[in-house]
Structure 1
Amino acid sequence: MAMNGAGVNAEAVTVEAVELYEWPYRLRLPFRFGVITVTHGRQAVVRVRIRTADGRTADGMAAEALAAKWFDKNPELSDAQNLEQLRRALEIATGLYRSSRPRTPFRLFADHYPDQIAEGARSGLPPLVASYGPALLDRAIADALCRARGVGFYQAVRTNLLGIEAHPVAPDLAEFALAPFLRGLAPSDRIHVRHTVGLVDPIVAADQGPGTRVEDGLPETLEEVVATYGHRYYKLKVGGNVAADVDRLARIAGVLDLQGHDYAVSLDGNEQYADEDAVLELWRAMAAAPRLRRLVDSILYIEQPIKRQNALSAPVTRLAAARPVILDESDGDLEAFPTGRSLGYRGVSSKNCKGFYKSILNLARCRMWNQAEGDGTYFMSAEDLTTQAGLSVQQDLALVNLLGLVHVERNGHHFIDGFAGRPAGEAQTFLAAHPDLYHEQDGRVRMRITDGEAMIGSLACTGFATAAFPDVTAMEPMKKAEWGS
């Protein structure tokens, strides 16, 4: 395999230590998506220590929600079992990376990817679940190498310090010129925030029953969100019942249409439809509703409407003729996007919980396919998995910004109150390090959104988009997974 993407700066590292932590949090508002309503959760935090070729050591960190009923929606599994699956994925990746000979960060991912997926399968983990482990370790390793070399994430990718190259895990990219592609990535200092409207979110004040308001100074209804943040982009969840979905979308349109500016929408099915015909029934009902005329015209794409067990078994070309359809939950392994393309899917989501190398490779595929076809048919979207203030939201923002995406779904700042559950000193440390992204409001450090945008220039700091670390002494060491081991 030609080494057509490896940069002269690429450096082999050894993973000397991996520490796994977690901590609990509560949502300020319940969040309904797909088959679950979330009121609380846990976040995993990873700290690694690497040794470089010249003998110096450096630490790096990453964080991600341990999310139930997204990675694996099997109704026979409890939420607690879903979390155990993700802990097991972290354990598998830790074992593989700790026992590895020195490799570039990308090679740590790519060379061990088949073993991660295979060992995950032996432990009863679908590929999407198994990939959660390296997704966190890869970010922490990249963070550590950036710190060892005194560079930021953007520079590390564009100069290929991480060693991204042609590799058998993505054989379709063997002849694609990765090095100039990486050099051409151009991050910005700001990004539009696409606000998520969950299935139980109140649209107007009348939707909130007596005594249900949080009254913490943050917006609670969609009407308040619009007035507070000034978004231009929204993500609307639909639930699989056509009549109920059309009625709810019409109520949402009644708020969005009153804005004094244009808006754009993505429609998220969260696997709530059995097949293309069921989604087309919803689309036709929406198109026939006069109250939805402006909202329908504003829809950019439809995200993963079909259940994953069916999504990659039949074409979606009729639906795609109305609006582009993208993969999210069905993006389980590195071959999912090429398979989806053959069935009429035009895009795929970027989520750090699926792995940042996967996002970069999928963007390269979009560039390669668009060059071949001479148009912009294929694209990536930026989606959320409740990325929380601190490491999680910052590293995900940096990734999608580097990919050149101009808007990103963000829901963590709405459903979780800033650094709620974390030590006050930790919140102040992040505020001091990233004063463009955060601000202090009512005594709490929260994400700052102005005219629908987040300012992210400070993410170009040394390391993977963070000049601050969370306090691991205020966390619990992750216990051995009680799953498949």
Structure 2
Amino acid sequence: MTIIDPATKSTDIRLRAVRTACTGHAYRTPIKFGGVAVDHATVLDVECEAVTRRGQTVRGFGSMPLANIWSFPSRVLNHDQTLHAMRTLAERFARVCQGFTEFGHPIELGLALEEQFLAAAAEVSRELQLSQPIPKLCTLVCGSAFDAALHDAFGKVHGLNCYHTYGPEFVNRDLGEWLGADYAGEWPDAYVLREPKARMPLYHLIGALDPLDDSELMKPAGDGLPDTLPQWIRFNGLNHLKIKLNGDDLVWDLERILKVDRVTSETQRELGVGTWHYSLDFNERCPHVEYLTEMLSKLRERAPAGFDRVQYVEQPTARDLRSQPHNRMHEAAKLKPVVIDESLTDLESLLLARDMGYTGAALKACKGQSQSLLMAAAAQKLGMFLCVQDLTCPGASLIHSAGLAAHVPGVAAIESNSRQYCPAANIAWAAEFPGIFKIHDGTMDTSCLSGPGLGAIPI
């Protein structure tokens, strides 16, 4: 197939204007994350105006929570300081975009902007005199809404869902450009579905502070939504449960899983449900890999059926893989798939994790649509287990995350934590997209994610 020269491809776009806004949302109940209780979210919205080589103009929209507790953890900076750094970073990224005049496909533009965003993050760190520089993961989270707006605009200007625009008729360079010679002659569309999966099982989050039953319920939220695990299972018909664990107290973690399994088993038995699944999330707090292998071994001894229900384990130890070469996951991965999450920021980190025994990868829209597409391709070619997680994304950011999950082969389930912790942020979207925001049978109706741009976000 003859590929049109990048300099003359008429479908290319460039940015012409960018506007940003931040909104705050209080959580109905707090979630304990990495040892910290979080009770609110700040969401970054980005609207871009783009133009094609032919002069057609279009607006694109992207949105993502500024999850500083997750993307910028710090022992020397407090919550307000890291959040301020991220808000400052978003403003700086808007200025970078205003001065970015290159034409291209959104993947090409997104990856080129990522380089400039990383340089801008270093500048902001110096200007704010931060005692800890802004991490790469934090930079990706801030940049993801800008990247999403580009993909959204590109699809809309061509009247296509963005997952129809990742082949050689639109993308100027093959995957070999970014992933190496093994991918030469391959295009991103080979690793995504043109049409979304119609329905996907929903992973419900069980936070470390969430009451499992009435004995743990100290104060009902009083808003008509469930408070305990059995209530949630009945309310949404759940059969996939993600269990947040402490990672620094093996007895507590093991007993937490065992109680989740007991409470869930009793409820599912009453409902006549025979099959369900768990994922285990330690938020990288395990001191060493032996903690994980011991915990899994004890779980298998104490509750064999509960052990069998564990589908995968999210990154158990610290995200800086190079500083912890001893924490290799080969033995743990013989028990269950072990997924790289916080560490995954590029191809180099994916390959390092694989060498260290990780057998799966967690894709997240908050790391950028462009980067996620590359990681989806690389992980599939390497035969790794894949999942998509949503960072408690509300509104448009959930639609973006759900679209990623629904279009990547091999991703078996989807996350939607905002319905639990900040449902008020979804109200404006729920009436128009009920399949995404209203769960009745343990699954999300993702068939609607086929509209122009990122799927269901209004033109």
**What are the equivalent positions in structure 2 for 1:432-471 lying under 5 Å apart?**
433-437=432-436, 447-468=437-458
Distance 2:10 2:53 in 1: 11
Distance 2:311 2:195 in 1: 23
**What are the equivalent positions in structure 2 for 1:151-230 lying under 5 Å apart?**
151-157=160-166, 161=170, 163=172, 165-166=174-175, 168-171=177-180, 174-175=183-184, 177-178=186-187, 181-182=190-191, 185-209=194-218, 212-230=219-237
**What are the equivalent positions in structure 2 for 1:80-91 lying under 5 Å apart?**
80-91=80-91
Residue of structure 2 in register with 1:109 after alignment: 110
CA offsets 1:166-219 (integer angstroms, 9 cap, x no match)? 36543365426226615755521221110110101000012112xx11122211
Distance 1:201 1:195 in 2: 12
Residue of structure 2 in register with 1:235 after alignment: 242
C-alpha deviation, 1:109, in angstroms: 1.7
Distance 1:319 1:4 in 2: 47
- Is 1:335 matched with 2:348? yes
- Is 1:24 matched with 2:24? yes
Distance 1:160 1:266 in 2: 39
Matching residue's letter, 1:35: G
Distance 1:303 1:355 in 2: 20
Distance 2:454 2:210 in 1: 33
C-alpha deviation, 1:68, in angstroms: 2.7
**What are the equivalent positions in structure 2 for 1:41-440 lying under 5 Å apart?**
41-100=41-100, 101-122=102-123, 123=125, 124-157=133-166, 161=170, 163=172, 165-166=174-175, 168-171=177-180, 174-175=183-184, 177-178=186-187, 181-182=190-191, 185-209=194-218, 212-240=219-247, 241-258=249-266, 259=268, 260-289=273-302, 292-310=303-321, 313-314=325-326, 315-370=328-383, 378-388=384-394, 390-404=395-409, 405-419=411-425, 427=428, 430-431=429-430, 433-437=432-436
Q: Cα distance 1:208–1:89, how it changes in 2: closer, same or farther (>3 A)?
A: same
C-alpha deviation, 1:237, in angstroms: 1.0
Matching residue's letter, 2:63: A
* Consecutive unaligned residues in structure 1, runs of 5 or more: 371-377, 438-446, 470-485
Distance 2:152 2:51 in 1: 13
C-alpha deviation, 1:467, in angstroms: 4.1
C-alpha deviation, 1:142, in angstroms: 1.2
CA offsets 1:28-51 (integer angstroms, 9 cap, x no match)? 111112121111121111111111
Matching residue's letter, 2:349: A
CA offsets 1:282-310 (integer angstroms, 9 cap, x no match)? 22332232xx3221111111101101235
Normalising to structure 1: TM-score of the pair?
0.84
Distance 1:36 1:177 in 2: 43
Of residues 39-48 and 327-336 in structure 1, the stretch that sits farther from structure 2 once superposed is 327-336
Of residues 31-40 and 310-319 in structure 1, the stretch that sits farther from structure 2 once superposed is 310-319
Distance 1:5 1:448 in 2: 45
Distance 1:219 1:22 in 2: 29
Q: Cα distance 1:467–1:9, how it changes in 2: closer, same or farther (>3 A)?
A: farther
C-alpha deviation, 1:468, in angstroms: 3.0
SS at match of 2:420: helix
Q: Cα distance 1:362–1:225, how it changes in 2: closer, same or farther (>3 A)?
A: same
Distance 2:166 2:232 in 1: 35
Paired residues, number: 439
Does the 8 A contact of 1:302 with 1:324 survive in 2? yes
Distance 2:60 2:418 in 1: 23
* Consecutive unaligned residues in structure 2, runs of 5 or more: 126-132
CA offsets 1:431-456 (integer angstroms, 9 cap, x no match)? 4532433xxxxxxxxx2112101112
Distance 1:270 1:154 in 2: 31
Q: Cα distance 1:18–1:294, how it changes in 2: closer, same or farther (>3 A)?
A: same
Q: Percent identity?
A: 23
Normalising to structure 2: TM-score of the pair?
0.88
SS at match of 2:200: strand
Root mean square deviation of aligned Cα: 2.6
CA offsets 1:128-182 (integer angstroms, 9 cap, x no match)? 1111233111110111122212212232336764556336543365426226615
Runs of 4+ aligned structure 1 residues displaced above 6 Å come to: 2-6
